[in-house]
Amino acid sequence: MGGKMGLLFDATLCIGCGACYEACKERNGLPRTVAHFLEDRLSDRTYTVVKKRGGRFVRQLCMHCEVPTCVSVCPVGAFEKTAAGPVIYHEARCIGCRYCMLACPFGIPKYEWGKILPRVRKCDLCADRVAAGRPTACAEVCPTGATKFGDRQALIEEARARLRAHPQKYVPRIYGLEEVGGTSVLLLSDVPFERLGYRTDLRPEPLPLLTWQVLQKIPNFVVVGSVLLGGIWWITNRRREVRLREREEQEARRLSASESQEGP
Amino acid sequence: MARWSLRRPSFWQIVFVIILGAGLYSTVIRFTGGLGASTALSDAFPWGLWVGFDVLCGVALAAGGFTLSAVVYIFNIERFRPIIRPTILTAFLGYVLVLVALLFDLGRPYRIWHPLVMWNPRSVMFEVAWCVMLYTTVLALEFSPMVFERLRLERPLRILHALTVPLVILGVILSTLHQSSLGSLYLIVPEKLHPLWYSPLLPVFFFISAIALGCAMTIFESFVSARAFRKRLEIDLLADLGKVSVVALAVYLVLKIQDLAGRGVLHRALEPTYEGRMFLAEMLLGVIGPILLLSLRRIRMDHFGLFVSAVLIVLGFIMNRLNVSITGMEASSGVSYFPSWTELSVTLMIVALGFALFGVAAKYLPVFPEMARLPASAPTEPPAVAALRRPWIGTTPLVLLLGGLFFVGAMGSAYSGLRYRERALAAAPPHEEEEPEIAEGLERFEIPPDVTFPQGEASPGPVTFRHASHLNWERPDCTSCHHEPFRILKGFGSTAPSSSRDWHDERHCGRCHDGRTSFSVKEDCTACHRP
């Protein structure tokens, strides 16, 4: 079976060396974008960055949600959450509506704005490497173990162990354990996560539930609505027919009455 | 006569040609330069004017069509039959124009058919796509009798006539789904959309406001076509539509207030912020103002009063959709968005095409079939009775006063909102980051292994590269060497140390070993080459 894989990033261990940044660029064949990697931001040519935030170095990359918003919102199913953990993109399906970009709670999908035939770009958790049983490029090169690749469940255990071992150091929370239903990328930190630039107001329920609650009512709505409208039409139409018939009968009665008067 | 109009085009024809020219020029930019070159959109703000106005407002144009066809065909209220065809034409054109706008906005417009075969029923956008396709088909069928009548094709007319009621029912269902699903699109961004607009009731709000807009648009276009084609106005019918609008708007207002209060954010409508003021503007312009105006029978029955009220509803509606799609999303996106001139000119072109197509259809097709030639002369009252009835203020001044009050109030509110945003942007402190703490990471730092370069033919000896002696131990930075060509990943590319390559050049060791940063590759060979 081999559970879903993921990453554990520990902000207390990151030294901002940029190895993950370079490894990501290299693995994805991405061009150089800025003079120094700390100035970079996520874009169609940069899938992970290291940022100075709140007195720590912190990484940004796709969180690979357990119930991904991008997978749910894409009208043509261009995103897929694989059993191994990565959320991947099938570019041949994409129509370019950019709903994934609007909807992603972490603001991860980026667009090739400069191209005539643009694609959505983001980290794919090195899906090919993970499928081959290897760690992601960023985790492979990390010299301090700040980015660690592994089975998500095992990483959660490890994060809990670190929290237990150093309760006075860490913020007592694993970021990504519950956010929008959980993510494959988990974070530990000794400064509040919002200071690292991570939203802490995200709900524990997956966002797709919000739209699914409405969407699942559609079949009932169509059936009940059609029957209701059909019924109303039948009643109003019948009423009109009756009215017409009554008028005709009155007319006929009047005619026959006048005839019978004239008759004999 | 025709030759005369050819030589001297009317003012509106000139405007149309200018708009069309600018729009076509922008079209060329859009399809040769891509979305980046033609729009103000960005990764932080992926949906702009083309979604917020062209799609969200264009779809709502159809609301008059489904409301009236339900009233006439399902509820059998025959009175409204004379104005049903123009509303169906408007709905059909609205959808066609939405399709055109989508071709501009989609990154890959030639794949617009993908939702037909690639399904994701969990996506609101999938529902939207299917509603667009199905309802455009239904509207085309509802519209086609006008064409068939014109061409005197009896058979298809009979078939369509038999299908009328099922088609109308299908249309009402699809339209309800579609209007509401545009609101549902934003249900997925609870943390991004400002709480004045984000609500679990978004689909309901979109649906109700679309009905009000549908009636208002019918009133508006009846006035415009009455002028353009010198038709008689069905003022009684239109006033009744005004009543429907008021009911829809009142329901909307009550629900809105309840919803805001229930979520505990009602006070934010009065906060001196960009969003607060834009929200007030939208409510004054499109909801509260029109409710007040149209509640007065005198204004509702008055040509000018009804027209002004309808225009207010339309403007307020547009403002609401732009507030949901743009104003309410700006704060969380961290950027401010204003459409580029190319976006604006494409939108203008699409609107102008809508007017032009409506004009052409109205001219050549039986859109207004049961039009009376002349207004029936109203019975006149004796002057004394009329004088008694005369109100303290004329209807036109009253409309100007009330309508102007709400319009100016809304614009003032929006303006102060923009000022608040300016001030907020100016007050934002410069972003400065303290130097990060890395001591603990350094303790864990594992020095990458040494790399041995085998001895080449003319080489004095093999070279062993030691990471340990090439590191800045206070702030290690792998990227200073691990750009190309020094690859960082194992087994990737051509970085395996080989003797056949010259490593001395300024792209490799010579980059730092240049005599300035560090000793030069031209100096003592044995510094690196150890036999």
Whether B76 contacts chain A with CB within 8 A? yes
Among all residues of chain A, which has the CA nearest to that of B447?
Answer: A143
Whether the CB-CB separation of B66 and B344 falls below 8 Å is answered with no
**d(Cα A238, Cα A240) in Å, to the nearest integer?**
5
pLDDT for residue B382: 61
Among all residues of chain B, which has the CA nearest to that of A119?
Answer: B107
Question: Smallest CA–CA separation between A156 and chain B, in Å?
Answer: 20
Of A75-84, A141-150, B63-72, give the lowest mean pLDDT range.
B63-72
Question: Smallest CA–CA separation between B512 and chain A, in Å?
Answer: 17
Residue by residue, DSSP assigns A128-143 as HHHHTT---HHHHH-S
Of A23, A119, A211, the CB nearest to B488: A23
The model's pLDDT over B210-244, given as tens digits with 9 standing for 90+, comes to: 999 999 999 998 888 888 877 777 888 899 999 99
Q: How many CB atoms lie within 10 A of CB B503?
A: 20
Of B105, B129, B176, the CB nearest to A75: B129
Of B187-196, B363-372, B443-452, give the lowest mean pLDDT range.
B363-372
Q: Taking CB atoms and an 8 Å cutoff, what residues of chain A touch B29?
A: none
Instruction: List, as ranges, residues 415-444 from B with C-beta within 8 Å of A.
Output: 433-438, 440-442, 444
Q: Taking CB atoms and an 8 Å cutoff, what residues of chain A touch B199?
A: none
pLDDT for residue B450: 84
CA atoms within 13 A on the CB side of B385: 4
Between B516 and A44, name the one with better pLDDT.
Answer: A44
Of B108, B165, B433, the CB nearest to A117: B108
CB contact under 8 A, A26 and B493: yes
Of B185, B448, B488, the CB nearest to A26: B488
**C-alpha triplet A86, A88, A92: angle, nearest 5°:** 165
Residues 6+ apart with CB under 8 A from A185: A6, A7, A9, A61, A62, A63, A64, A176
What are the structural domain ranges in chain A? 5-205, 218-262
The model's pLDDT over B200-217, given as tens digits with 9 standing for 90+, comes to: 999 999 999 999 999 999
For the range B133-138, what are the long-range contacts, defined as Cβ-Cβ under 8 Å and sequence gap of 24 or more? B134/B170, B134/B174, B135/B62, B135/B95, B135/B171, B135/B174, B135/B175, B135/B178, B136/B92, B136/B95, B136/B96, B136/B99, B138/B167, B138/B170, B138/B171, B138/B174
CATH number for the domain whose boundaries are A5-205? 3.30.70.20
Whether B94 contacts chain A with CB within 8 A? no
Average pLDDT over residues B57-62: 88
Whether B187 contacts chain A with CB within 8 A? yes
Q: Taking CB atoms and an 8 Å cutoff, what residues of chain B touch A115?
A: 34, 36
Whether B473 contacts chain A with CB within 8 A? no
- B522 burial via Cβ count (<10 Å: 0-12, 13-18, 19+): exposed
Q: Taking CB atoms and an 8 Å cutoff, what residues of chain A touch B99?
A: none
Identify the band that residue B116 occupies on the pLDDT scale cut at 50, 70 and 90: very high
Identify the band that residue B456 occupies on the pLDDT scale cut at 50, 70 and 90: confident
Whether the CB-CB separation of A51 and A164 falls below 8 Å is answered with no
Between B443 and B524, name the one with better pLDDT.
Answer: B443
Of A171-185, B13-27, B359-373, give the lowest mean pLDDT range.
B359-373
Does the pLDDT at position B286 exceed 60? yes
Does the pLDDT at position B371 exceed 70? no
CB contact under 8 A, A225 and B173: yes
CB contact under 8 A, A55 and B75: no
Distances (CA, A) of B310 to A242, B104, B225, B243, B303: 38, 30, 15, 11, 11
Q: Taking CB atoms and an 8 Å cutoff, what residues of chain A touch B488?
A: 19, 22-23, 26, 141
Does the pLDDT at position B391 exceed 80? no
Question: Percentage of chain A surpassing pLDDT 90?
Answer: 92
Average pLDDT over residues B97-107: 95
Token code pair at residue B508: 């490799």
* A29: alpha, beta or left? (left if phi > 0; alpha if psi -120 to 50): left
Task: Suggest the residue from B479, B481, B484, B486 to mutate for an interface test with chain A (most A CBs closer than 10 A).
Answer: B479
Strand, coil or helix: B359: helix
Q: Taking CB atoms and an 8 Å cutoff, what residues of chain B touch A215?
A: 121-122, 124, 127, 184
Among all residues of chain B, which has the CA nearest to that of A147?
Answer: B441
Measured in whole angstroms, the distance separating CA A33 from the mean position of its chain's CA atoms is 27
Identify the band that residue B394 occupies on the pLDDT scale cut at 50, 70 and 90: confident
Rg (CA), chain A: 31
Of A171-180, B1-10, B342-351, give the lowest mean pLDDT range.
B1-10
Whether the CB-CB separation of A113 and B42 falls below 8 Å is answered with yes
pLDDT for residue B82: 83
Question: Smallest CA–CA separation between A219 and chain B, in Å?
Answer: 11
How high is the mean pLDDT of chain A?
A: 93
Identify the band that residue B492 occupies on the pLDDT scale cut at 50, 70 and 90: very low
CB contact under 8 A, A110 and B177: no
**d(Cα B412, Cα B421) in Å, to the nearest integer?**
14
Of B35, B184, B192, the CB nearest to A113: B35
Whether the CB-CB separation of A188 and A9 falls below 8 Å is answered with yes
Identify the band that residue B484 occupies on the pLDDT scale cut at 50, 70 and 90: low
**d(Cα B316, Cα A10) in Å, to the nearest integer?**
49
Does the pLDDT at position B376 exceed 70? no
Q: Taking CB atoms and an 8 Å cutoff, what residues of chain A touch B42?
A: 113
pLDDT for residue B520: 86
Whether B507 contacts chain A with CB within 8 A? no
Question: Percentage of chain B surpassing pLDDT 90?
Answer: 50
pLDDT for residue B390: 65
Residue by residue, DSSP assigns B281-349 as HHHIIIIIHHHHHHHSHHHHTSHHHHHHHHHHHHHHHHHHHHIIIIIHHHHHHTS-----HHHHHHHHH
| Predicted interface score ipTM higher than 0.85 | yes
